[in-house]
Amino acid sequence: MSTQSNAVNELPMAGRTMAQTSISPGRRLYWSVRREIWENRSIYIAPAAVAGLLIVGLLIAVFRGALHISADMNMSQGQHSGVVAAYNVASAAIMGVALIVSGFYCLSTLQGERNSRSILFWKSLPVSDTTAVLGKAAIPFVVIPAIMMTLVIVTHLVILLILSATFAAQGQGASLAWPNPGLPQVWGMTLYHLVTIHVLWYAPIFAYMLMVSAWAKRAPFLWAVVPPVLAGVVEKIAFNTTYVFSILRDRLTGESSGAVGAGGGMKLDSMEMIDPLHFLASPGLWIGLAVAAAFLVATIRLRRWGSAL
């Protein structure tokens, strides 16, 4: 009787082992990423809502007659400022909101599943802590940048159609709606900015936020902000130096990255100013990636221990 009972108890473990061996690590990671997208719809709803508001604002400006190019304007001396501004504002607004969404996602994802105790359910599945954390890290590093790039392209095309129709109705050439550098160059610069700054340069920031989310029981935003600020204040009082604040400023602004010219800014006409080799040779890039890797390892450990909290 005891032998039969033991055999029955071993069946779930055997099925679990078979499930672990039959599913490849890549497929587990893929479904972990899809799970995060399903559970966090704000990562694409918020940027899409901003893009929609920008289009509505442009349409209102068109109906108000705010966009008009006079017949005597010499377009060879420079593009109409309203045309360039429309594309610039769209890119900056979408990327800015998506960056905020990335930060809030990183600070809430691990802390939220621990507080709701859903971590116990996910740990019962044949998915390791490493796969789960990497699936969450893929959201700010891969998914949100891809969403941003797609929204920027779609929004720019809609803006192009609206401006073309507007200028044609005014008796001007529809080609005036095309920005001076050309949309392919604008998109290339946007993609370059996303990869270098939003992904590689901000990697330690996102990884740090994930680690804080895995550790903090409550108020992860405060736990993420207070320690570095406190370290900077203590350094200033004790040694009258500002190395901590300088490091934080450079990491947040990208001033020392060398990715997109002086100041880390992004302009439509700055494609010729970028220097990928200088960016890849930057010590700050590789130090930041090493720190990000260390934070992710710590996040995996904290998630493994978190189920016991």
Using one digit for the tens of pLDDT, what is the confidence trace for 288-298? 999 999 999 99
> Would residue 6 count as lying in a domain?
no
Tokens matching residue 41: 């719809």
Q: Which domain holds residue 93?
A: 25-306
User: In which band, very low, low, confident or very high, does the pLDDT at 275 lie, cut at 50, 70 and 90?
Assistant: confident
In terms of Cα–Cα distance, which of 151, 163, 157, 114 is closest to 136? 114
Residue 280 clears pLDDT 80, i.e. is over it? yes
Q: What is the pLDDT of residues 224-265, one digit of tens each?
A: 999 999 999 999 999 888 888 888 888 888 766 666 554 444
Predicted pLDDT at 125: 59
Let me know if residue 20 belongs to a domain.
no
Mean pLDDT of the chain: 78
Position 294 in a domain = yes
Residue 4 lies in a domain: no
Two structure tokens written together for 133: 């954390």
Question: Would residue 108 count as lying in a domain?
Answer: yes
Query: What pLDDT sits at residue 97?
Result: 92
Q: Kindly state the tokens that stand for 157.
A: 């095309």
Mean pLDDT along residues 32-59: 89
Angstrom distance (rounded) from CA 239 to CA 105: 36
CA atoms within 13 A on the CB side of 60: 6
On whether residue 48 sits in a domain, the answer given is yes
Question: How many C-beta neighbours within 10 Å does residue 197 have?
Answer: 20
250 or 124: which leads in pLDDT = 250
Over pLDDT 70: what percentage of the chain?
72
Q: Do 167 and 173 form a contact (C-beta atoms < 8 A)? A: yes
User: Across the chain, where does the E strand assignment appear?
Assistant: none
Q: How many domains, the chain? A: 1
Mean pLDDT across the stretch 75-98? Answer: 73
